[in-house]
Amino acid sequence: MTGTPLWEKSILRDAAGNTLRPGGFTITDRAVELARLKSGARVLDVGCGLGATVEHLHEKHGFNAFGMDYSPRQLSEAPAELPLTRADGSNLPYADSSFEAVFCECVLSLIPNKEKAILEFKRVLTKGGKLIISDLYQRGKGLDQCSDGSCASTPLYLKRIEQIFKENGMQITSIEDYSRLLVELAAKLVFAGEKNPTAGQNCCDRPGYMLLIAEC
């Protein structure tokens, strides 16, 4: 990775708001509906960035929401009152069975060892807990990765993710496509002056954007 990653550029915040991802809270709220999470549930936002989702999950849905992120810069700009922790998504500083849901939005694609991360997510989830992933996925043949520092650089290979779930006793309960929201964000970024918002055809042929929910 070279230069400033896209998720730390002000141009992304201007285009996407503090969620720093396609669709803002649209997919988040849909995930809450599909997962049938109840008010008061303990939930974790992996890769919480500026803390916008943690705040939203608490204020709108009444969850006991926590967040973690690896970027000290992002965390330093988040509201100080939020329960946020600096940590690696592949090595979570939480006890087993701590959460009823783990949100991982536009983040898993940035984690090098995805299987290790998914196993960590499963570890901190309660029995029957929900893993909620929204992210770019590879729809074409493309290359495996580029180096622009965005989730567009390394879109998820869905068959591999499904295999990891199957091998580790997790069941996918929902998959929905939200590629139109990726197109909308890319257009906003281009209009704002970002030259390569989705890493181009050299990185991934027609990347898509999805919501996936798996149950432990």
pLDDT tens string 165-201 = 999 999 999 999 999 999 998 888 876 666 555 544 4
* CATH architecture for the domain at 6-215: 3-Layer(aba) Sandwich (3.40)
What the block records as the tokens of 192 is: 């704002």
Q: For the residues of 90-143, what is the DSSP string, one character each?
A: TB--S-TT-EEEEEEES-GGG-S-HHHHHHHHHHHEEEEEEEEEEEEE--S---
Q: What are phi and psi of 180, to 5 degrees?
A: -60, -30
pTM here is 0.87
Looking at residue 146, its pLDDT comes to 46
Residue found under tokens 């849905």: 61
Closest CA to 176 of 71, 34, 24: 34
Mean pLDDT over all residues of the chain?
88
**Positive or negative torsion for Cα 191, 194, 199, 200:** positive
DSSP state of 197: T
Neighbours of 205 (CB within 10 A): 14
Query: What pLDDT is recorded for position 141?
Result: 54
**Strands 171-177 vs 208-215: parallel, antiparallel or unpaired:** antiparallel
Give 114 or 200, the one with higher predicted confidence: 114
**6 has a pLDDT exceeding 70:** no
